[in-house]
Amino acid sequence: MRHSAWIAGAGMLGAAFLLGILSAAPLPAYAKGAPRADVLEHCSWNRPGADPFMGDVVAAVDRYPDIAPQVREQLKARMRARQYDEIVVISRDAIRGKGNYAARISDMHFGPGRVCRNVTRSGWSEQMQERGLVYCVQGACILVPTVCRNVSRITQAAVAGPRGAGAGGLPGGGAPGG
């Protein structure tokens, strides 16, 4: 009987010690309430709508820390109010709308918390098209395709100058890196 009391006491002491150690350990990001995301460097978006974004579309903008906080807040306010700049047509090789946009789609949020840094549409046929809402504030643009609610980034493309001239229509001008 004495041994069982001693064993029970030692067990409780061990449990208390373990609990104390665990309470001092830092919490993982998902336990702190921060959005958890698996980040992929490259992926193909060949089946739009197959793995739609399941998170909060507006809150996903906060995962772009290089966008200034005040710009992120303006983007989020416009997204909450559904005040998009335009509806664009996304095709394999272009993003077309009233504005000029580069064809590249990046940092796409999809599925249950995944993000793809570089998105390709190379598996699309020339005829394939999807539509998306574009929100731009101070040069930062968010694209939300209507088929899947995936939140992603696009960039505004520079308007081409007069034929034969460089950037700004000045001879010899051009973009850095050619």
Domain of residue 133: give its range.
36-154
- Is pTM beyond 0.85? Reply is no
Average pLDDT over every residue of 148-161: 88
Q: Would you state the structure tokens that stand for residue 131, as one six-digit string? A: 């539509």
Average pLDDT over every residue of 120-133: 97
Average pLDDT over every residue of 4-11: 53
State residue 133's pLDDT score: 99
Residue 130 lies in a domain: yes
Distance between CA atoms of residues 147 and 142, nearest Å? 15
State residue 158's pLDDT score: 80
Find the DSSP H helices in 30-135.
69-80
Residue 90 lies in a domain: yes
Number of domains in the chain: 1
